[in-house]
Structure 1
Amino acid sequence: MTWSIGWVDSRRKAGQRTPVMDGVVAVAVHTEGLNCFPQDCKYTGEPPNGLSRCTTIQNGPANGIKENGNPYLKAAPLSALKQNGLLQSLAADCIPSKTEELSLEVERAQEEWDALEIIQPVPAEDLIPSTPISFNEALQHFQTTDLGGPLKNIQPTLHRTGFSAIAHFLFGPPRLHKDLVEERDLLFAIGQCSLDNGQAVHMRVLQTVYRKLTCTRADCPRYGPHWENVGFQGTDPATDLRGTGFLGLMHCLYFVMDPEILPLARDIYKLSQHPVQNFPFSVMSINMTRIALHALREEVLSKECNRRQQVVAVLNDFYVGTFLHLYQLWKTQRKTISDSGHVLKEVEMFAKKNPKQILKRLEGYLKERHSTSPDALIHNNPSSGDAGSQIGIQGTKEGKEMNFIGVCELPPETEGEARLI
């Protein structure tokens, strides 16, 4: 930007000094870059007495250099500009106001906001936690579901030939009673079912296991690293269930929903979080399910199933008893995750060879824990309890004995916490 301002006085040519007088100011201003448009400002007025008209050349330097014989005017001092208000007006044109600065900030913030991903609102129904599901209700779901496809792919017993078949027939465990074959096959069919996001029961089982172990009330997302907190190996629990199918999740549900064995489940879960002796709880639980299925397939549980006339309850107890054996071994021998392969092999061999001992240890552990718990001391005191409380204890114990009713004998709409009858 170039500008020039001055007085032209004919008497100054004769060497006379004339004081500055109020008169007409001739200004030539060329601004460039203000609002992206060049501006030329020029004002010429009539001179006072004794002054000749001021002539200015626009776009020229105000240093007195001649061009076409006409001298340029020299720049006036800043004090003169201040007196005439010109400096203020020029500065106002060049410097943006506070309002303009605020507008720029708002525009920039709006651009940053628009660049963010659009956040979808969460439906209100998704904020309501799902209702916890019991093991019996989940089992009823599979009893009333068509499992024709999975049933075709099961292998309920080992195929033995030659001397192995003869030895098993003569010296092996007894065969499973024919009335229990359907119940056994259902367990193997559940082991062939994968986790289905479209099944509400499947999702309730998954959420119940997570909330019981972590003692939280709200549901968690279907995928995410939070599943590692309960011992899954990745962001999707379904990837760890490929070996045992949905039965691996059913056993974990039984472990956390039975009030009598829930303290044991939390003790094992606490050990799995140990800074040195940690292990993935859910993955270890799935391995216990795998061992239990192998024991059932190899018919080492047939004698106990025939005695109790149940398969589901026996398999559940064997699963918990095997987990208890691993827990005691892991804790007392200070095992770490580097020992997991050897420990699992040792536990599997012991459980298959000693199924009766596994079940007896679990029964003794639960009795000892029940007798030392604060609630047991109250119930054992005749003065503080009544007959109703004693019946309630027996009812809980007998309620664990689940009677299988057969596949698809319940109507599909049956819901609730009803016991199997």
Structure 2
Amino acid sequence: MDRLKVCLLGPLHHVTRTTVLSWLSEISALKNCSVLRALTAEANGWVPGVVSTEVLRTQEEWEAVDNIQPETGSQASSDQPGQLISFSEALQHFQTVDLSSFKKRIQPTIRRTGLAALRHCLFGPPKLHQGLREERDLVLTIAQCGLDSRDPVHGRVLQTIYKKLTGSKFDCALHGDHWEDLGFQGANPATDLRGAGFLALLHLLYLVMDSNTLLMAQEIFRLSRHHIQQFPFCLMSVNITRIAIQALREECLSRECNRQQRVIPVVNSFYAATFLHLAHVWRTQQKTISDSGFVLKDLEVLAKKSPRRLLKTLETYLAGVSKRQASLLGAQKCCGPQAPHSKDLTFTGVCDLLPDSSEGTWLS
């Protein structure tokens, strides 16, 4: 709608009368307001480069138009796509709905036999504490749930991811080519969630809605749109969620979960840390989409072998981001809001920050 407003209320000399009428016809079903009636009247008597006072008067009314739901045409409310949704709110939805049919499908741990079972018992990671197994099972159950576009919460999750990554203030259709711009393979994001289920979308939601990881997510997204090193951002994220699921089932994360006495935050951080390392490898080693299979294979081996190392690297990176944010805020307060931005205050790119030797070793 915003693009249409600019086209109709801005310079009209490059738009044909037929095009204007076509646009108005397409959106007339969305909202029957006086501005559309006025614009239609203007188009019927349209003269190139001339905008009537009637249209100019109704421009102000346009600003008050509520967000429109692309598929239903209804106004946004707290129960429908339109409002951003937090990770905790989305998680609470899955904690309260009946997931018994999905829970039957999960395999909480890898079944090992023979020497593999003996080796794992003697040298493998510790078992997850009994009190944490219900939380682990919830994570694995969500990974069995698909995307249901009829569920308002599912729709809000998708809309939030889209808005936070693109900066858009308006809702978009839950199916369409615009999802390919975010790195899905087609017009329907649901088709790319196999093997990770709705957990893949919850991980993306966590990445863009957590204030500590939002800047990181946006920088990785920009890297994914590089003219040479581009890769499908959301599809890559789904693959990293699959790695997190396998690491959880193979008990690679049990030690850290036991230490923190929680599962979901550990899995979220492990996902973010793995994505961060992928971006570091991708950027510094000049990887392209043709390398993606090899990169993901090596990433899975490293992630399962050294989860604590990945998590420590994430902590170091985010601490550096926080310091730079604090420095920038302090400089703005000292110099005033009108002070020009100094080149010394700009944020470094993702993975450019090297940790202190006391805090861990940067992954290469």
Give the TM-score of the pair, scaled to structure 1: 0.61
Q: For residues 343 and 118 of structure 1, do their structure 2 counterparts lie closer, same or farther at Cα, with a shift above 3 Å needed?
A: closer
Superposition pairs for residues 306-321 of structure 1, below 5 Å?
306-321=258-273
Query: For 2:160 and 2:108, how far apart are their aligned partners in 1?
Result: 29
Query: For 1:207 and 1:368, how far apart are their aligned partners in 2?
Result: 30
Q: CA offset at residue 166 of structure 1?
A: 1.1
Code of the residue aligned with 2:29 in structure 1: it is: P
Q: CA offset at residue 119 of structure 1?
A: 7.5
Matched, 1:148 2:96: no
Matched, 1:249 2:201: yes
Q: For residues 167 and 376 of structure 1, do their structure 2 counterparts lie closer, same or farther at Cα, with a shift above 3 Å needed?
A: farther
Code of the residue aligned with 1:121 in structure 2: it is: A
Query: For 2:236 and 2:203, how far apart are their aligned partners in 1?
Result: 12
Q: Is the 8 A contact 1:371 1:377 kept in 2?
A: no
Code of the residue aligned with 2:199 in structure 1: it is: L
Q: For residues 180 and 278 of structure 1, do their structure 2 counterparts lie closer, same or farther at Cα, with a shift above 3 Å needed?
A: same
Deviations 1:20-71 (A, max 9, x none): xxxxxxxxxxxxxxxxxxxxxxxxxxxxxxxxxxxxxxxxxxxxxxxxxxxx
- 1:122 aligns with 30
- 1:265 aligns with 217
Query: For 2:189 and 2:278, how far apart are their aligned partners in 1?
Result: 22
Residue 253 of structure 1: SS of its match in structure 2? helix
- 2:129 aligns with 177
Q: For residues 248 and 118 of structure 1, do their structure 2 counterparts lie closer, same or farther at Cα, with a shift above 3 Å needed?
A: closer
Q: For residues 303 and 242 of structure 1, do their structure 2 counterparts lie closer, same or farther at Cα, with a shift above 3 Å needed?
A: same
The structure 2 residue matched to 1:227, chosen from 179, 197, 201, is 179
The structure 1 residue matched to 2:298, chosen from 339, 343, 346, is 346
Residue 140 of structure 1: SS of its match in structure 2? helix
Q: Is the 8 A contact 1:271 1:277 kept in 2?
A: yes
Residue 221 of structure 2: SS of its match in structure 1? helix
User: Which structure is higher in helix share?
Assistant: 2
Deviations 1:293-340 (A, max 9, x none): 110000010000000001000000000000000000000011000100
User: Which structure is higher in strand share?
Assistant: 1
Q: Is the 8 A contact 1:173 1:300 kept in 2?
A: yes
Q: CA offset at residue 274 of structure 1?
A: 0.4
Query: For 1:268 and 1:247, how far apart are their aligned partners in 2?
Result: 20
Matched, 1:191 2:99: no
Q: For residues 118 and 291 of structure 1, do their structure 2 counterparts lie closer, same or farther at Cα, with a shift above 3 Å needed?
A: closer
Residue 206 of structure 2: SS of its match in structure 1? helix
Matched, 1:216 2:168: yes
Residue 314 of structure 1: SS of its match in structure 2? helix
Residue 158 of structure 1: SS of its match in structure 2? coil
- 1:293 aligns with 245
Deviations 1:322-377 (A, max 9, x none): 00000000000110001000111011111111001000000000111211225566
Query: For 1:375 and 1:246, how far apart are their aligned partners in 2?
Result: 38
Code of the residue aligned with 1:238 in structure 2: it is: A
Query: For 1:327 and 1:206, how far apart are their aligned partners in 2?
Result: 23
Q: Over the residues paired in the alignment, what is the CA RMSD in angstroms?
A: 2.2
Residue 197 of structure 2: SS of its match in structure 1? coil
Matched, 1:333 2:285: yes
Q: For residues 372 and 120 of structure 1, do their structure 2 counterparts lie closer, same or farther at Cα, with a shift above 3 Å needed?
A: closer
Code of the residue aligned with 1:151 in structure 2: it is: K
Gaps of 5+ in 2: 1-20, 32-67, 337-364
Query: For 1:376 and 1:223, how far apart are their aligned partners in 2?
Result: 39
Matched, 1:139 2:87: no
- 1:304 aligns with 256
Deviations 1:223-243 (A, max 9, x none): 111001111110000000122
Residue 157 of structure 1: SS of its match in structure 2? coil
Query: For 1:151 and 1:133, how far apart are their aligned partners in 2?
Result: 25
Greater C-alpha Rg: 1
Q: For residues 376 and 167 of structure 1, do their structure 2 counterparts lie closer, same or farther at Cα, with a shift above 3 Å needed?
A: farther
Q: CA offset at residue 118 of structure 1?
A: 8.6
- 2:344 aligns with none
Query: For 1:224 and 1:261, how far apart are their aligned partners in 2?
Result: 27
Could you tell me the percent identity over the aligned residues? 54
Code of the residue aligned with 2:119 in structure 1: it is: A
Query: For 1:200 and 1:310, how far apart are their aligned partners in 2?
Result: 28
Q: CA offset at residue 167 of structure 1?
A: 1.1
Q: CA offset at residue 182 of structure 1?
A: 0.3
Code of the residue aligned with 1:294 in structure 2: it is: Q
Q: For residues 353 and 132 of structure 1, do their structure 2 counterparts lie closer, same or farther at Cα, with a shift above 3 Å needed?
A: same
Query: For 1:308 and 1:255, how far apart are their aligned partners in 2?
Result: 20
